[in-house]
Amino acid sequence: MVTVTAEWEFLAHRLREWMVLRSIAVNDPWGPEDFLASSDWCQRTAAQVLTSSAALRLLADRGRTRRVRAAAGLRLAQQRR
């Protein structure tokens, strides 16, 4: 799929972000540096839908925006209840 989308930079980038989200969601190995380098969209989506405490903790501590950090922190607090 990556070779087919390689000529469209945005599409290839978004596909890589989806793969990071998928890896986290299905508990496959993922790199925190790739996750932190992802777009605001990816991090906002992750903060809303992922259940991985490690990913949410990373976003709560080092997410790109205040909005991402707050959303991730809220999800972590909800998980603890």
- Looking at the 3D structure of the chain, how many domains does it have? 1
| Statement: residue 78 has pLDDT above 90 | yes
**CB of 69 closer than 8 Å to CB of 56:** no
Determine the structural domain holding residue 68 and report its residue range: 2-80
pTM of the full predicted structure? 0.85
Q: Residues 14-52, buried b or exposed e (16+ Cβ, 10 A)? A: bebbeebbebbeeeeebeeeebeebeeebbbbbbeebeb
Of 27, 26, 6, nearest to 15 by C-alpha is 6
Query: What is the rounded CA–CA span in Å between residue 60 and residue 46?
Result: 11
pLDDT digits 0-9 by tens, 13-62: 898 999 999 999 999 999 999 999 999 999 999 999 999 999 999 999 99
Q: What is the pLDDT of residue 5?
A: 66
